[in-house]
Amino acid sequence: IKIKITTIDIPVSFASAFEGEIIRKGDMQVEVDGSRKDCFELVTTRDAAEIEDHKITVDGPELDEIPVGSKISLSYIVEVAGKNMQSDFESVMERKIHSFLNCIEGVMHTGQRDMIRIRVSKADFEAGFRFRHIGEVLYAKIKSEFDTVVDKCQVKIVVDEAKNKELRAMANEVFNRRDDRLRSMTDESVPVFYTCIMCQAFSPSHVCIVTPERLGLCGAVSWLDAKATNELDPQGPCQVVPKEHCIDERLGRYEDVDEAVQKYSHGALEHVTLYSLFQDPMTSCGCFECICGVEPVSMGVVITMREYAGMTPLGMTFSEMASMTGGGVQTPGFMGHGKHFIASKKFIAAEGGLGRIVWLPKELKEQMRDKLNEAAKELYDVDNFADMIADETICTEDPEELLNYLTEVGHPVLSMEPFDM
Ligand code: SF4
Ligand code: ZN
């Protein structure tokens, strides 16, 4: 017999109304700061015998032993067991932590994996909120939302820099293994794709088609995640898209994909291709990590990301480019996408692929450097491709300056055909 958990044992309110709440610096008791300290969140599967259901441990100082305003190292591992549990479900559960913790009044959570930031407000501290209550929330939500697969759950919170340094290395191995498993898959090697319509709450006609080589534009839903989401909730946001009727391999145009977008956009969309920026590109909701836009002087594309507020050679910032394409509409030449799609061999493959990328914010270029170089070597036999891509330290507003740079370094875009716009 499974008991559904309805109340969560914490001293502050818990409701989805608190999800957008911002905790300002002056109001925070403490900040878990993944950008400077070793922090992470992880859901992992164990044998039932290794888990004591509802056990919550805090290894290290509690909130009342930490000076107000501190930026600290903290990690939590949610250990689950269940006879229907699969390790592919772990990352789907992990992605929900963001929403679980944000539902706590006075707590703000951003990021994922080992790049998390959590603020706990002074008001919460005064009300008696402690780290162990994070464990209470995680326990209650994981048990109730995933009751079909989780029989037992325990949460280990660690507040100790030295221990978290070691634990983080272990967690990164887990994250890498998951990424490697996905990297070995191609769009051709799988029998089906998936829809994701999680964003229809605020973008009613938007449908992501998620494939192994094209993750959801939010960056948080890989093909494996979509598959797991479908298995966990067969009537849920991720539905199977068969791929039996390919119309155009180069564009990634499938009868089945068109049918799926028509159905799940409620008729707002008729055709979507998987690999083209110009021919019926995929729509964008509002939460794309990156956006790419055509740069007509070089016949390349400029990509910028949410974290980069500066100008691009298109004469537009991220938010200006975002206003060209959000809200579930198709704007040929502009497209929202996930960070990792940049180094995918399917990235605008119909227009020649990632060799079209002429400009990236430096930070994004560094994050993607190795993967970009590897993919460009394979696709074009070009070495050190990342160095050929301009960034804000090379040029921002002037497309002529950009073209000069591309010529100087011998960028592959210069030998590609003009866009067929
Ligand atoms: Fe799903 Fe796409 Fe929204 Fe990500 S952006 S949650 S993949 S609909
Ligand atoms: Zn979205």
Global ipTM: 0.99
Average pLDDT over residues 67-85: 97
List the residue whose alpha carbon is closest to atom 7 of ligand 1: 216
Residue 187 lies in a domain: no
Residue 8 lies in a domain: no
pLDDT value, residue 22: 92
Which among 292, 305, 284 has a CA at the least distance from the CA of 361? 305
Task: Specify the number of domains making up the chain.
Answer: 2
Query: Does residue 267 sit in the same domain as residue 408?
Result: yes
* 218 in contact with ligand 1, CB cutoff 6 A: yes
What is the distance in A from the centroid of ligand 2 to the CA of 130? 32
CA 200 to ligand 1: nearest atom: 8
Find which of 8-22, 40-54, 285-299, 388-402 is predicted with most confidence, using mean pLDDT.
40-54
CATH code of the domain covering residue 139: 3.30.1650.10
* 92 in contact with ligand 1, CB cutoff 6 A: no
For the stretch 402-408, contacts whose Cβ atoms lie closer than 8 Å and that sit 24 or more positions apart, written own/partner, are 402/295, 402/297, 402/298, 402/313, 402/358, 402/359, 403/297, 403/298, 406/298, 406/300, 406/358
Q: Which domain holds residue 234?
A: 192-415
The last residue of one of the domains, among 156, 181, 206, is 181
Residue 186 lies in a domain: no
Residue 219 lies in a domain: yes
Query: Does residue 215 sit in the same domain as residue 174?
Result: no
pLDDT value, residue 321: 93
Query: Does residue 21 sit in the same domain as residue 104?
Result: yes
* 238 in contact with ligand 1, CB cutoff 6 A: no
* Burial annotation 383-415 (CB, 10 A radius, 16+ → b, else e): eebbebbbbbebbbeebeebbebbeebebbbee
Ligand nearest to the CA of residue 221, numbered in listed order: 1
Query: Does residue 333 sit in the same domain as residue 200?
Result: yes
Query: Does residue 149 sit in the same domain as residue 243?
Result: no
pLDDT value, residue 398: 86
Query: Does residue 250 sit in the same domain as residue 379?
Result: yes
Residue 5 lies in a domain: no
Ligand nearest to the CA of residue 203, numbered in listed order: 2
The last residue of one of the domains, among 124, 157, 181, is 181
Whether 3 has a pLDDT exceeding 60, the answer reads no
Contact status, residue 232 vs residue 146, Cβ threshold 8 Å = yes
What is the distance in A from the centroid of ligand 1 to the CA of 196? 6
pLDDT value, residue 4: 55
The last residue of one of the domains, among 181, 212, 243, is 181
Q: Is 100 exposed, middle or buried (0-12, 13-18, 19+ CB in 10 A)?
A: buried
Query: Does residue 246 sit in the same domain as residue 359?
Result: yes
Whether 328 has a pLDDT exceeding 90, the answer reads no
Query: Does residue 139 sit in the same domain as residue 271?
Result: no
Other beta carbons within 10 Å of 194 = 26
Whether 2 has a pLDDT exceeding 60, the answer reads no
Residue 421 lies in a domain: no
CA 237 to ligand 1: nearest atom: 1
Residue 52 lies in a domain: yes
Mapping DSSP to helix (H, G, I), strand (E, B) and coil, where does residue 320 land? helix
Query: Ligand 1 test: best mutation among 217, 224, 291, 335, most atoms within 8 Å of CB?
Result: 217
- CA 40, CA 97: separation in Å to the nearest integer? 12
CATH code of the domain covering residue 395: 3.40.1470.10
Average pLDDT over residues 35-61: 97
Across the chain, mean pLDDT equals: 95
pLDDT value, residue 6: 62
Query: Does residue 173 sit in the same domain as residue 307?
Result: no
Query: Does residue 117 sit in the same domain as residue 155?
Result: yes
Query: Does residue 173 sit in the same domain as residue 266?
Result: no
Query: Does residue 171 sit in the same domain as residue 68?
Result: yes
Single pTM value for the model? 0.87
Residue 55 lies in a domain: yes
* Residues 212-255 pLDDT 10s: 999 999 998 999 999 999 999 999 999 999 999 999 999 999 99
